[in-house]
Amino acid sequence: MPVQAESGAPVSAADTIFALASGAGRAAIAVMRLSGPGAGAVLTALAGRLPTPRMASLRRLRDPRDGDLLDEALVLWMPGPASYTGEDSAELHLHGGRAVVAAVADALVAAGARPAEPGEFTRRAFLHGRLDLTAAEGIADLIEAETAAQRRQALRQAGGALGTLYAGWAEQLTRLLARQEAFIEFEEEDLPDDLDARVAEEAAGLRAEMAAHLADGARSERLREGLCFAILGAPNVGKSSLLNALAGREAAIVSARAGTTRDVVEVVLDLGGVPVTLADTAGLRESADEIEQEGIRRALRRAEEAEMVIAVFAADAPPDPATLALLGPETLVVVNKCDLAPAPSAIADRVPLAVAARTGAGLEALRARLAEAAALRAGLTAAAGLTRPRHAPQAAGHGDARGAAGPGDARRGRDRAAAGR
Amino acid sequence: MLDERWDVVVVGGGHAGAEAAAAAARCGARTLLLTHRIETIGEMSCNPAVGGIGKGHLVREVDALDGIIARAADAAGIHFKLLNRSKGPAVRGPRAQADRALFRTAVQALLRATPGLEMRGEPVEDLILGGDGAVAGVVTAAGKRIGAGAVVITTGTFLRGEIHIGDRRTPAGRVGEAPAIGLALTLERLGLPLARLKTGTPPRLDGRTIDWAALEPQHGDDPPEPLSWMTERITNRQVACAITYTNAATHELIRANLHHSAVYGGGISGVGPRYCPSIEDKVVRFADKMRHQIFLEREGLDDDTVYPNGISTSLAEPVQAAVVASLPGLERAVILRPGYAIEYDHVDPRALRPTLEVRAAPRLFLAGQINGTTGYEEAAAQGVMAGVNAAARAGGTAAPDRVLSRGEAYIGVLVDDLVLQGVTEPYRMLTARSEHRLALRADNAGLRLTETGIAWGCVGAERAAAHRTFAATVAEAEARARQDQATPTAFAAAGAPVNHDGRRRSAFEALGLPGLPEDGVATLFPWLRDLPPRVLAELRARALYAPYVERQAAELRVLEREERLPIPDDLDFAAIPGLSLEMRQRLDRARPATLGSAGRLAGVTPAAIAALAVHLRTREPRFT
């Protein structure tokens, strides 16, 4: 059955939007909302047949392209007009891992939906007359919050390498578009004869570059939320002091008493353009304190989830066996308190990085090593990757348009194709 | 006490004024056109040409609404050229160089032939305001009070106009004509935001002193393609123009004398037209360009004046003479009149509604260069829209707005850009300004707009009949072309190889196939040969763009839901929760008429649009 809008005119499935309704980041459950005339078709593409309306059903979600199992999720199907937006809607209650959410978002795009703009669900609800006065009043705040989050995120991204890459592309596209438009608008000017051909050639080059970038897939999806490096070590080896020295502010409470950090303290550092969450964890030791035990459990979990572990030892004490037991091939070994005693030349056959958080000695070298590791793990050593599903359809649109047309945004590219026949 | 009373009074007799007066009168309004001097109605103040890329589209659209500019240009045209002929039909722009005197004569004749329209040479000094703040008429320089249901002001560069040649300044609206000071003061009193802009014109040369033999001639199209859909063929004798180029010596001269230029010497603060720069601008901004092209265009058949298109300048007169003498073929050329820059007031068009009515002064309309545009075509386009709306407004308070959308016409793009975004430099139409340019071709303007014009009452019976016959023929031919099919084998036999997939292809598809020779299509579908050339051209263009236009139409439908949601003129943006101060300011300055236009405002975020949408919904009376 063809998708029909209320006016009776056919609309594209691209008018179907989705967004994460729960907060970003790790959580037990992530709720993905879906709305639009193609919501039913998109849901069917991922979850098989449509569930009974407004009844929670357990479904296996599969990637429509290759049938890969993405997640086992609770699925809600709310056909319009009795839904929040007034359109056909669905909710997917996913397991809250970043990888799951990213893969489902990717599959939704493949099925023809697109990521929603901030406030778009609300706008649709309004356009379908689904908002009452109280709802409307509450929503302004919501929108503001949504925008603030968006802004912070945009700012973070704008500062990074991905932002630089996209800005470069945007500039190149603008230049190409300007030359192409000049070719169309100013025929009577004394322009170079091969302007058109040169633009086409450069556009083809840019297109190849974008295609390579797209093929890169979700490699650096993690760039958006950033990497996580966990600091592990015995109590009182100076993990918190190290974190504070790196962050340049008092993020963790530092005291001479062992076991001060009972939970995980996080700071976000900009390491060479990559946002990195540095997690300071409770010192690893046997403890009778229940709260501290929970802290240690969390520390270990954090270490498992982290992209990299920084194991900290103290120069004035023998290496802590509990920490040694956790060393993996990717672990960075750091010896702190080198102002109090000389650092050992090797710990578990590795050459440790010697620092003194108190005096600042060795910190620059540590920072450089971290930045290098961050760039490597975010895939920036080659090129910046795609961080959100939103980027993929847009970049794909450009590739498509230029394939047919030449430079410009998708719209103008198409114009040009026919205009400059 | 009023001395007399009219439905519509138009102030100004340039391209906007002439078009506004004619349109209002065609709509049945008793219309009076007032201007400084009746003899200069239809004067071409600058270049003796009409049309071009983007501009030619506007001319055809004005023509589709039965306006006069295209017919006048056809009557006066002495050199026609379809620009971008080698590119797709959507960006082809018809252009005509006109005999200046013939053009003026044609405009005046067309206006005189319009029933219900009177013209007088009486300058207007002031406006009459009614008790409700609405405009109720005008006061002439002689003190005569003339009542009007609506007033259209089209004073071009005359508002506090000041001409600059080198460091010499003269108050004037055009060379030798007085500026309009009183009206500028009136508009200021109404609280309209005014700002300075500038434009310029090149020196005029004596054609008898040009060495034509040394120059590369440029001929017009043969046969010439008329601008107006109603013109059968061009009857004037056609003339060639010539091309010359600036050189290193020219550029050196200009650089050495920049301090004598009004613009670079600091005499002018207004911003000039980016797409029609002075030669000083070109030399400074494109310093690495070795030469600039100059077209030498004759101003008339019986006129030796030559317009050197490309060297608009405000340099001091002796420098202008040296610059001209440095150009090949112009070594001995005599300057009849120096080039100049003119600085003038314009009104920030964001003060206008989409009908070009001043928001703060109901029944007052502004059209043309006064709104910050440049060019005859842009002026004429606004003129026709202001005239149509003024006539409607004069007829009754409940008249619906007569507005063209961005998807319908370049006129819609022009007006929407003006009233929504305002201007920072004189606004010139470009095809790139339209997001629907594949659908908005110069050659389908009639099919796009004439029916609307008929509904508005501004299209005469003759054009209406011709249009309807044509539209019916096109529809019939398209239906047949979509039905009539041929096999791949037949295509191959006709010299038009397609994939041998067994799929039959229609005549319509064949017309849209790139690289298919015309006679090949005609061999396959011989009946196409019998179609009138205009009908076949229309079919070809439709077939060529069909896949793209369909995609665009789908996008448009999605947008339309929001486009139609009106924002009341009196909406207080400050009262909307969730709008940041910045968003409030942006919205308040532009006062978008619909939710859709609010979304097009530069810098307005999707979140702000959502907040605005929610607010509009809660304002509505609720019946549920």
Across A208-241, b (16+ Cβ under 10 Å) vs e yields ebbbebbeeebbbbbbbbbbbbbbbbbbbbbbbb
Do A84 and A121 contact (CB within 8 A), yes or no?
Answer: yes
- For A11, the closest chain B residue by CA position comes to B554
Quote the pLDDT of residue B470.
Answer: 96
Percentage of chain B lying above the pLDDT 70 cut: 96
Structure tokens, A9: 């005119």
Residue A382 — very low, low, confident or very high, per pLDDT cuts 50/70/90?
very low
Write down the H helix ranges in B54-123: 55-64, 69-76, 100-112
Quote the pLDDT of residue A138.
Answer: 56
The residue type of A63 is D
Rg (CA), chain B: 26
Instruction: Indicate if B564-619 has the same CATH topology as B13-161+190-195+344-456.
Output: no
Pairing of strands B145-153, B117-120: unpaired
Pick the closest to residue B272 from B173, B365, B185, B157 (CA basis).
B157
Neighbouring-strand partners of residue B205: B306, B335
Residue B339 — very low, low, confident or very high, per pLDDT cuts 50/70/90?
very high
Q: Classify burial at A303, counting beta carbons within 10 Å of its beta carbon; exposed 0-12, middle 13-18, buried 19 or more.
A: buried
Structure tokens, B19: 């078009």
Looking at residue B208, the DSSP 8-state letter turns out to be G
Is A143 in contact with B83 (Cβ distance < 8 A)?
no
Question: How many other CB atoms are found less than 10 A from the CB of residue A393?
Answer: 17
Report the range out of B67-71, B312-316, B551-555 with the highest average pLDDT. B67-71
User: Among B245, B432, B611, whose Cβ lies nearest the Cβ of A181?
Assistant: B432
Percentage of chain B lying above the pLDDT 90 cut: 62
Across B194-219, b (16+ Cβ under 10 Å) vs e yields beebbbbbbbbbebeebeeeebeeee
Domain boundaries, chain B: 13-161+190-195+344-456, 461-562, 564-619
Q: Higher model confidence: residue B618 or residue B270?
A: B270
Quote the pLDDT of residue A94.
Answer: 87
Q: Out of 3.20.20.370, 3.30.1360.120, 2.40.40.20, 3.50.50.60, which CATH number does the structure's domain A13-158 have?
A: 3.30.1360.120
Q: Higher model confidence: residue A254 or residue A363?
A: A363
Quote the pLDDT of residue B496.
Answer: 74
Interface pTM, i.e. ipTM: 0.80
Quote the pLDDT of residue A241.
Answer: 83
Looking at residue B204, the DSSP 8-state letter turns out to be E
Quote the pLDDT of residue B498.
Answer: 78
**Residue A202 pLDDT exceeds 70:** yes
CATH topology of domain B564-619: DNA polymerase; domain 1 (1.10.150)
Q: How many helices (H) and strands (E) does chain A have?
A: 13, 12
Per residue in B8-17, pLDDT tens?
Answer: 999 999 999 9
Question: What is the distance, to the nearest Å, from the Cα of residue B240 to the centroid of all Cα atoms in its chain?
Answer: 25
- For A118, the closest chain B residue by CA position comes to B607
Q: CA-CA distances (angstroms) from residue A119 to A66, B595, B610? A: 32, 15, 6
- Edge-first strand order for the sheet with B340-347 is B168-171, B162-165, B340-347, B194-201
Q: How far away is chain B from the Cα of A342, in angstroms, using its nearest Cα?
A: 57
Residue A266 — very low, low, confident or very high, per pLDDT cuts 50/70/90?
low
The residue type of A409 is D
Per residue in B229-255, pLDDT tens?
Answer: 999 999 999 999 999 999 999 999 999
Instruction: Please tell me chain A's helix, strand, coil percentages from 3-state DSSP, rounded to the nearest 5.
Output: 40, 20, 40
Percentage of chain A lying above the pLDDT 90 cut: 13
Q: Higher model confidence: residue B93 or residue A360?
A: B93
Do B496 and B525 contact (CB within 8 A), yes or no?
Answer: no
Quote the pLDDT of residue A163.
Answer: 66
Do B329 and B211 contact (CB within 8 A), yes or no?
Answer: yes
- For B564, the closest chain A residue by CA position comes to A127
Across A99-125, b (16+ Cβ under 10 Å) vs e yields ebbbbbbbbbbbbbbbbbbbbbbbbbb
Judge whether B554 is closer than 8 Å to chain A, CB to CB: yes
Backbone angles phi, psi at B307, to 5 degrees: -100, 110
* B495-524 residues touching A, CB cutoff 8 A: 514
Least confident of A384-388, A406-410, B134-138, B292-296: A406-410
Least confident of A234-243, B10-19, B148-157, B168-177: B168-177
Q: CA-CA distances (angstroms) from residue B207 to A330, B303, B330? A: 84, 9, 10
Residue A123 — very low, low, confident or very high, per pLDDT cuts 50/70/90?
confident
Rg (CA), chain A: 26
Judge whether B575 is closer than 8 Å to chain A, CB to CB: no
Output the average pLDDT for chain B.
90
- For B430, the closest chain A residue by CA position comes to A185
Backbone angles phi, psi at B623, to 5 degrees: -115, 0
Residue B66 — very low, low, confident or very high, per pLDDT cuts 50/70/90?
very high
Quote the pLDDT of residue A116.
Answer: 83
Pairing of strands B135-140, B145-153: antiparallel
Quote the pLDDT of residue A277.
Answer: 76
Structure tokens, A88: 């056909």
Looking at residue B159, the DSSP 8-state letter turns out to be B
**Residue A147 pLDDT exceeds 50:** no
Output the average pLDDT for chain A.
72
Contacts of A141 in chain B (CB under 8 A): 577-578
Least confident of A142-156, A185-199, A320-334, B245-259: A142-156
Residue A257 — very low, low, confident or very high, per pLDDT cuts 50/70/90?
very low
Is A420 in contact with B88 (Cβ distance < 8 A)?
yes
User: Among A141, A144, A188, whose Cβ lies nearest the Cβ of B83?
Assistant: A188
Task: Considering chain A, tell me which residue range(s) the CATH 3.30.1360.120 domain(s) occupy.
Answer: 13-158
Quote the pLDDT of residue A319.
Answer: 86
Taking residues B600-624, report their average pLDDT.
69
Per residue in B97-152, pLDDT tens?
Answer: 999 999 999 999 999 999 999 999 999 999 999 888 899 999 999 999 999 999 99
Task: Considering chain A, tell me which residue range(s) the CATH 3.40.50.300 domain(s) occupy.
Answer: 227-377
Judge whether B577 is closer than 8 Å to chain A, CB to CB: yes
Dihedral sign for Cα A249, A250, A251, A257, please: positive
Write down the H helix ranges in B457-532: 461-483, 488-493, 507-512, 518-524
Q: Classify burial at A326, counting beta carbons within 10 Å of its beta carbon; exposed 0-12, middle 13-18, buried 19 or more.
A: middle
Quote the pLDDT of residue B304.
Answer: 94
Supply the CATH classification number for the domain B13-161+190-195+344-456: 3.50.50.60
Quote the pLDDT of residue B479.
Answer: 96
Q: How far away is chain B from the Cα of A10, in angstroms, using its nearest Cα?
A: 8
Per residue in B414-434, pLDDT tens?
Answer: 999 999 989 989 999 999 999
Whole-angstrom distance, CA of residue A374 vs CA of residue B245: 58
Q: CA-CA distances (angstroms) from residue B324 to B247, B278, B299, B475? A: 11, 14, 18, 54
**Residue A113 pLDDT exceeds 80:** yes
Backbone angles phi, psi at B406, to 5 degrees: -60, -30
Do A380 and A220 contact (CB within 8 A), yes or no?
Answer: yes
Quote the pLDDT of residue A289.
Answer: 64
Judge whether B286 is closer than 8 Å to chain A, CB to CB: no
Q: Out of 3.40.50.720, 1.10.10.60, 1.10.10.1800, 3.30.360.10, which CATH number does the structure's domain B461-562 have?
A: 1.10.10.1800
Instruction: Collect contacts of B504-509 with beta carbons under 8 A, ≥24 apart.
Output: B506/B481, B506/B482, B507/B480, B507/B481, B507/B482, B508/B478, B508/B481, B508/B482, B508/B539, B508/B542, B508/B543, B508/B546, B509/B543
- For A182, the closest chain B residue by CA position comes to B432
Q: Class assignment of domain A227-377?
A: alpha beta
Is B437 in contact with A15 (Cβ distance < 8 A)?
no
- For B437, the closest chain A residue by CA position comes to A415
Percentage of chain A lying above the pLDDT 70 cut: 60
Do A344 and A350 contact (CB within 8 A), yes or no?
Answer: no
Quote the pLDDT of residue A149.
Answer: 47
The residue type of B340 is Y
Per residue in B568-593, pLDDT tens?
Answer: 888 888 888 777 777 888 888 888 98
Structure tokens, B124: 């207007």
Quote the pLDDT of residue B559.
Answer: 62
Task: Please report the beta strands in B449-599, taking only residues with DSSP state E, as ranges in sequence order.
Answer: 485-486, 505-506
Quote the pLDDT of residue B76.
Answer: 97
Write down the H helix ranges in A159-258: 161-185, 195-215, 222-225, 239-247
Pairing of strands B364-366, B145-153: parallel
**Residue A224 pLDDT exceeds 60:** no
Q: Higher model confidence: residue A326 or residue B303?
A: B303
**Residue B409 pLDDT exceeds 90:** yes
Taking residues A56-68, report their average pLDDT.
89
Question: How many other CB atoms are found less than 10 A from the CB of residue B232?
Answer: 8
Backbone angles phi, psi at B546, to 5 degrees: -45, -50
Quote the pLDDT of residue A136.
Answer: 54
Per residue in B151-169, pLDDT tens?
Answer: 999 998 888 888 998 888 8
Interface test with B, best of A85, A128, A143, A183 (most B CBs within 10 A): A143
Backbone angles phi, psi at A78, to 5 degrees: -125, 90
**Residue B197 pLDDT exceeds 50:** yes
